[in-house]
Every structure is written in structure tokens, then in C-alpha cells.
Chains A and B, each alone.
Chain A
Amino acid sequence: MRARGAAAAGRPSWRRAEARAALMFLAPGLFIVGVFFLIPVASAFLLAFTDFDIYALADPRNVRIVGLTNFAGLLRNPVFWTALRNTLFFVLLGGPLTVTVSLAAALLLDAKTARFKSFFRTVYFAPFVTTLVAVATVFRFLYHPRFGLLNQFLRVLHIPTVDWLGDPRWAMPAIVILAVWKNFGYNMIVFIAGLQNVPESLYEAARLDGAGPWRRFRHITVPMLAPTFLFVGVITMIGYFQLFAEPYVMTRGGPLNATLSMALFMYQQGFRWWNMGYSAAIAFFLFLLILAATLLQLWLQRTRRA
């Protein structure tokens, strides 16, 4: 406080009073951020370098500082690589699919000939605000190998049926389908907002120059939506890297770890086996992964624009 006071000494007193008032107004927010964000994040980071486990619950003296052992152990653990592969599969398949589906829905709803727009907007948005547990229960019925709607449909088409959640090859795609259906509504709304900001005059000028629908889309809609794409892409990707609730509710990571995501792996290590140090190391790794992927996406967008 003394240093602050000295720095502000030269300024007129009303500015100092204003700064103090500002600090007071900010204090509750800073306090909450500090207590509920900064301290937990910092302690989780420190936890990653300890072997905090079930024995540490009995007596804090049983915690040892182990340096990078947790990280080394992680790289040697085949389950970690499975979780990483599953998560990347989910992000790389589910992410682009969600963005594509939401853009398609947005284009349909933004078309001038579309009718009952607000009705469809609500219907498409509804999954996003529905509780996941309820959705997952319904999807478990849809995916049921014998009585599920999806397999009955396949049977009608004489396509071999699939044990959606029981077959290790199909469980993750099944989760992707659920996630796309559940999440595209939000992106769709963002895209609609973006589309409404594209000036109509650009399309008119292009039409006069003889540009067809595809070229108008390619050369007007897509470039004008670039900031929206970036936002939607980054938000979707960050969300998808943290895949947890869908496999937790539907498959608990199975069959044969086929739907074990990084976040679920972290949860299992932390709350099932109580290897908190190890679990914090996974969290730290996931953070780095998301950070790297986000920076990559920002960089790609920038180079494309330049």
C-alpha cells in the first residue's frame, strides 16, 4: 500500500480517491477470482509435482515432492495414450462436423425462402439447453442394439446393424453423433448472427457480375464469416477437448477404454483411485494441449488473412 501511495503522490487527490473507489468496486470480483480460480489453479499446478494419494488423506506428512515423476509415468502409461488418441479422434471428427452442420443449418434458416424460421431456430437450439443426462438416456434407447430406432432403420435398409455403444469401434463415433446433435444449435445461432451482418449489397453486386450461388458463398459468405469461424472453431475445440459428461453417462469410458477421454481418465485417476498428484499432471497436460491447439488455430487464421 505504501508503494502505491508514493506512486500516486504526484497525482491530484481526486484521482487517488477514484482509484481507491475503483479498487473497492473491484475487490469483491478480485476476491472471488482469487479464491475460486487463482488459488485452486495454483494448487493444482503444485499438486502435479507431488504424489498426493490415498495415504496423504490419512496424514499430510505422507505427501512427497516427486518432481516430474508423474509426467514421466504418464508418458509410459498405455492408457494415457489411448485417452489422448480418443480425445484427438473426438476433436478432429466432432469439431469440423459440428461446425459444418451448424453452418448448414444457419444457411438454411437464413435463406430468404425459409419459412417458420423462429420455430426451427428454437427446435435446433433446444438440444443445446437440454440436460445431458436426459439426452444420454434417450440416446441409449436410440442406440440399443436390438430395439433401438437407429438399428431398426438400418434393418429396413438391409444394412448390417451395429452395436453402437458395445462395439469398441463404434462407441466413439456414437458419442460424436450425440455431441454434434447436442451442440450444433449454439454454433448455429452464432453463425446466423454472423450471416445477418453480411451486407446485402455485396450479394447484389456479385449477382450483377454473374456469380452463381456457390461462388457467392465461397467468395462473400465465407470470407465475411471469418471472425465467426474463428470464434466458433476455438470455442468448439476447447469444449470438445474437455469431453467428459457424454462418455461418463453413456459408457463410463468403455468398451475396452474406447471412449475414455482425457478428462474422464483424469477423473478416474483423481476420484476413483485418488491419485490426485497424477490426476493434476493429466490436467496440466490437457491444459497445454488445449493452449497449443488454440494458438495453432489463431495462427492459421492469421496467416490465411495475411
Chain B
Amino acid sequence: MKSPAAAAAVRAAGLAGGALLLAFSAACRRTGAPAEPVRMWAFGREGEVVQQLLPEFTRRNPGVVVEVQQIPWTAAHEKLLTAFVGNAMPDLAPIGNTWVPEFQAIGALEALDRQASASGFLTGADDFSGVWDTNVLDGKLWGVPWYVDTRVVFYRRDLLAAAGYTRLPATWAEWRSAMERIRANSGGKKYAILLPTDEWAQPVIFGLGRGATLLKDGGGRGAFSEPSFRGAAEFYVSLFRDSLSPVLSWSEIGNVYQEFARGTFAMWITGPWNIGEFRRKMPAELRNSWGTAPMPAPEAGTPGVSLAGGSSLVLFRSSLRKDDAWKLIRYLSEPAQQALFYRLVGDLPARKSAWNDPALANDAAVAAFRTQLERVRSTPKVPEWEQIATRLFERLEPAIRGRVSVAETLAALDADVDAILTKRRWMISRERVRPAQAAVSRPGDLAAGLRLATGDVAR
């Protein structure tokens, strides 16, 4: 069975195979060659916009070629993990700062202390301490904050004024009375606040406000049943049970901007990305009828606390071009680039000096964020946090609907969390990971930060 055609086919296949092998070995050899670009992954809209900052970088660093790959946020986490397993990591990427513990735990990140302190301006002094702290694990710095975010209260000034308040109250008790009056003013037809039931941020913010540590034993067990969090959870649940907030998950809300404009609810705890959305989507007659305010505090005299969110630039340990990749991180972290990035995409700068830019300093809606960012606290720095947070709102929902008591639901939550953290406890007992430092609330520091912040922001 050896026809000339078959023989030719075999030869062709052999040639093709050989060519493939050659191409493959060439691809392998290329790694580390001088013309290799610095590969950056960037997620969502930032991935598109960051390219506009690059020409200046290339001008300053003629030898360095940067290649940005855009990846949607929804796929970011999975992509990074699979790339780590497949040994196909980029050189650098901005990652959500809650992911830092996870990528640090798997050994994907390079510590940045040496380079950061050599830079002169990335020492933490020009940063919001709560956000900076999310990047510090085991006493080392693993990421440089790129942009920051937190949650504040967006509210309808007109509805609050109709209830007799010129500004958002600063304590939970007064805040609650304001909500009750808003609800009464609408004849019980509308709501005071929107707290989507499938979001963990709100109950966690209330918990952090009451000084809850959320986890205990170095991040080995849940601490949701402890009085600090239980008090916060009771406050949160009561807002639903007293019909101050509708019991709605995100999918049931529909068009949230339209509902806000209609006054279906008068307040909403959300992040800086919504400043732009509100400006675009609120009808003209409401343009001056909404405002932002920092989170109220559980008691008078203490500052309200919120989440230390944001995105951090990290350098991956597998990178073969660490020096050039660091140059890019350093460049993107410069206050001037940060201010420019804010103008391009609306992400709040991590460097405080960048906030002197007129676009930020003269913006009243942004001022609440400036104040809030001085009093933010990080969620527990354990790789399992997102899993725990997801379980948190799943467990709270039956309590919101009144099917179980808050105490029962928190006990069940702690049991779930202890199960999720089983492996971590084993790792701690074997000393393969270090126990997470409990995020200690330091009211003195926070109050000092508050004074500083209110003095700083141009009003």
C-alpha cells in the first residue's frame, strides 16, 4: 500500500511537523531576548484607557516596549489563576486589592519594598493608610495602589430636606430617624435606602464601623457572632424589617438610576464610579438635588468607616523583565499620571498629592470620598475572603426576610466560614502560612485622619 501520492503525503506531513517544531523551538528561545515587550494585563475600561498613558512612558524609556492585553473584569480572576498554573503570567497587572492575599499565598507576587522605598514617593506617606495596608502582608509590600475606591452614601438632597435635614446625619441613630421620616413623607409608598440583598459590602461596612474583626484566630475562624458584628447585622436587618429598604436583589431592581430619580429610594451606598453615572443619567431637574456624604458612624464622636477598595499594581514573580516592569509600575503611580488617569476614566488617584489637581479638588461630589478614604479599613486579608463574603449575603437573606433570627443566621454563617477555613487552620498549625494580623481599629488614628482630611479638601 505505498502509492506515490501516499508517500508524498507522508513527506508533506513530515515537513509540516518539522516546521512546527522549528517554530516552537524558536518561540521558546525568544523568551528573555532583549526585544521582548513588557506584558501588562489590564481589566475592563482601564485596560483600554491606560494605553493613552503609554506614549509618554515609551518616550522616557526608549528601549522598553509595552504590550497591554485587555481582559474583561468578569474573567480577570480566572484568567490570572489559570495563567499562573499554566506558567503564562504577564509581567505586571493591576489586581483588585482583595486579591492580593490570594496571589501572595500562591507565591505569584514579587515583594516590592526595595523598589518602592528607592522610588522616594511610594513609601506610603502620600497614600491613604487604609488602602496602602491592604497591600502589606507578612510585613512586606506586595502591590502599589493604582487607584482607590470606597463606598459612601449617595442621597437625594431634596427628599432629605423635605424630611427636615439639611445634610446627612453623622450617627446611625439620627440616620435611622431621617430614614423613618423619609419613609413617612412618602406615605409608606417609597423607601429610604437601597441595600441590594446580594451585596456583601453594606453589612460588612456596618460591621467594620462597629469595629468588628469579621474573622478571629489569625483568620482561622469566623467571628460574625461576636457582639460587634451582631450589633451591625441587627441594624442592617432592621432596615429591611421596618421597610426602610426594599428587599430586592440586583436582578430585581431594574434600572437603578431611574428608580433613584423617581425617588423610589432616597439613599444608596455605592462607589466613585457612580459619580459619572449620576451626572450622565440624572434628569436635568435633579442635577443639583443629589449629593454624597461619608458613612455615618455608630456613635457620635467616632468617624464612620468604609471599605478600603481599589486596584493595586503588582509585579509577578515569574517575570523575566522585572526592572522594566517596575519602571512601568512606578510611572503609572506618579501623581501626575494618576491625575491624568482620573481625568480619562474617573478612577480616584491613590496618591494624595494627585488630589490637588483642580479636576478633583473643586469637585463637591468627590469631596465625600476624600474624607471617607482617610477612614477606610481592609477586609480580612485571607485568600478565602471572597468565598466568605459571598456566603455572608447568602446567609443574611433569610434573616432579612424574617425566616430566621439574626443570631441563628450568624451562628450558621460562622459554621460555614469555619468549614471554608479548615485548610487555612491546618496551614497555620503547620506554620505554612502566617496568621493574618487582625485589622485593629485605631479610633485615635482615624479621628486624626478625619481632621486632616476635612482640613485638606477644598470646600
Contact = CB atoms under 8 A, between A and B. Distances in A.
Interface of A: 51, 53-55, 57-59, 62, 64, 73, 145, 163, 165-168, 252, 254-256, 271-274
B252 A166 contact: yes
A274 B251 contact: no
A165 B249 CA distance: 13
A272 B386 CA distance: 10
A62 B432 contact: yes
20 contacts: A54-B102, A54-B105, A54-B106, A55-B105, A55-B383, A55-B423, A55-B427, A55-B432, A57-B107, A58-B107, A73-B419, A166-B251, A166-B254, A252-B74, A254-B251, A255-B249, A255-B251, A256-B249, A271-B78, A274-B81
Contacts of B85: 57
Nearest to B198: A256
Nearest to B427: A55
A63 to B, nearest CB: 10
B77 interface: yes
Interface residues of chain A: helix, strand, loop or mixed (majority): loop
Contacts of B107: 57-59
A285 B387 CA distance: 22
B278 interface: no
Q: A51, A145, A166, A167 — which one has the most chain B CB atoms within 10 A of its CB?
A: A166
B196 to A, nearest CB: 11
Nearest to A168: B251
B49 interface: no
Contacts of B432: 55, 59, 62
B84 interface: yes
B458 interface: no
Contacts of B77: 272
Interface in B380-402: 383, 386-387
Given A55-B105, A163-B251, 20 more contacts: A51-B423, A54-B102, A54-B106, A57-B81, A57-B85, A57-B106, A57-B107, A59-B432, A62-B423, A62-B427, A73-B419, A145-B254, A165-B251, A254-B198, A254-B251, A255-B251, A256-B249, A271-B78, A273-B386, A274-B81
Contacts of B162: none
Contact of A272 (B78, B251, B424): B78
A55 B432 CA distance: 9
Interface string B197-234: 01000000000000000000000000000000000000
B82 interface: yes
A1 B166 CA distance: 91
Contacts of B427: 55, 62
A150 B441 CA distance: 53
B433 interface: yes
A208 B88 CA distance: 72
B252 A167 contact: yes
